[in-house]
């Protein structure tokens, strides 16, 4: 029988030869999932022999990873903002930089705020669910064009015990909203990769993540223009619009918002110093 340590060493070598970055960490995380333990706990089990079933499962996981399938899809989950979320091929894998977007809103609007919030393009629901958790007195609406993404988002809402979210399907580019409410906050992390740039992305993204969640099939600004226009109509006076943007897009998105009469616009940098979040306020009525 092969031990935990032997299997990790062999698997890390195999993944490395297949061109997988951080091969040993990947090997450890996959095995920890099979053994139902944390990655660091593997170090206490180095001499433990793997059962035949565990070896078979591990080989299947390793085969999937060696072909470039993202680790998060194989594990079926990801950590985000201190919470755990289900992820699958129907939703974009959450990125760490999106935590900046959530952090800005939750710090600015503390618990006890009675807000109406709209999350456009919710995907796995990470933004809306984190806001629902940290702003429990608020009402969150979350929309997406994908039925399968919405199913995943609803599972994540249940998993994280939040009930103050209404999920609904909407094609933002071609439909108006029929919700009869005005919003204090609109937030979106829309598809912002241009079609030209899309073909240059990592194979893991192009081959596995849903294309409609990554690119707008245009210049990367389609959703920013549309959402800025709609937000001007459905935000309360003084309400705020928050966007996540791709590298090099922030200034252009800010200008789009200004053209749509948003005021007090500002940019926030991510952990790497990249301008990542653009926000602005709907002009107050006189």
One digit per residue, the tens of pLDDT, for the chain of length 286 reads 899 999 999 999 999 999 999 999 999 999 999 999 999 999 999 999 999 999 999 999 999 999 999 999 999 999 999 999 999 999 999 999 999 999 999 999 986 779 999 999 999 999 999 999 999 999 999 999 999 999 999 999 999 999 999 999 999 999 988 888 899 999 999 999 999 999 999 999 999 999 999 999 999 999 999 999 999 999 999 999 999 999 999 999 999 999 999 999 999 999 999 999 999 999 986 4
Please give the pLDDT value at position 270: 95
Q: CATH fold of 4-67, please?
A: Helicase, Ruva Protein; domain 3 (1.10.8)
Please give the pLDDT value at position 110: 80
Please give the pLDDT value at position 178: 80
Query: Where exactly does CATH 1.10.8 map onto the chain?
Result: 4-67
Please give the pLDDT value at position 180: 83
What is the 3 state secondary structure string of the chain? CCEHHHHHHHHHHHHHHCCCCCHHHHHHHHHHHHHCCCHHHHHHCCCCECCHHHHHHHHHHHHHHHCCCCHHHHHCEEEECCEEEECCCCCCCCCCCHHHHHHHHHHHCCCCCCCEEEEECCCCCHHHHHHHHHCCCCEEEEEECCHHHHHHHHHHHHHCCCCCEEEEECCCCCCCCCCCCCEEEEEECCCCECHHHHCCCCHHHHHHCCHHHCECCCCCCHHHHHHHHHHHHHEEEEEEEEEECCCCCHHHHHHHHHHCCEEEEEEEECCCCCEEEEEEEECCCC
Query: Where exactly does CATH 3.40.50.150 map onto the chain?
Result: 88-282
Please give the pLDDT value at position 284: 81
Please give the pLDDT value at position 137: 94
Please give the pLDDT value at position 210: 98
Would you state the CATH architecture of domain 88-282?
3-Layer(aba) Sandwich (3.40)
Please give the pLDDT value at position 150: 98
């Amino acid at each position: 029988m092969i031990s935990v340590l032997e299997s990790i060493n062999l698997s890390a070598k195999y993944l490395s030869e297949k061109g997988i970055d951080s091969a040993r960490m990947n090997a450890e995380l996959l095995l920890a999932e099979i053994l139902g333990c944390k990655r660091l706990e593997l170090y206490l089990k180095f001499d433990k022999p793997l059962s035949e079933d565990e070896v078979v499962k591990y080989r299947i996981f390793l085969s999937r990873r060696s072909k470039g399938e993202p680790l998060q899809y194989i594990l079926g989950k990801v950590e985000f903002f201190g919470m755990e979320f289900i992820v699958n091929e129907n939703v974009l894998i959450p990125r760490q930089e999106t935590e900046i977007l959530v952090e800005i809103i939750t710090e600015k609007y503390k618990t006890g705020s009675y807000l109406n919030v709209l999350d456009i393009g919710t995907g796995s629901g990470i933004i809306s669910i984190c806001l629902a958790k940290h702003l429990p007195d608020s009402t969150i609406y979350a929309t997406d064009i994908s039925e399968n993404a919405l199913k995943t988002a609803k599972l994540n809402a249940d998993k994280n015990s939040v009930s103050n979210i209404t999920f609904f399907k909407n094609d933002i580019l071609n439909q108006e909203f029929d919700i009869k409410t005005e919003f204090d906050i609109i937030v979106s992390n829309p598809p912002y990769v241009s079609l030209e740039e899309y073909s240059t992305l990592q194979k893991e993204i192009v081959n596995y993540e849903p294309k409609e969640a990554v690119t707008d099939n245009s210049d990367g600004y389609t959703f920013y223009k549309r959402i800025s226009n709609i937000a001007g109509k459905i935000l309360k006076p003084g309400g705020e619009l928050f966007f996540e943007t791709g590298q090099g897009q922030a200034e252009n998105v800010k200008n789009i918002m200004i053209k749509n009469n948003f005021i007090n616009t500002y940019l926030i940098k991510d952990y790497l110093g990249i301008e990542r979040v653009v926000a602005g306020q709907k002009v107050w009525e006189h």
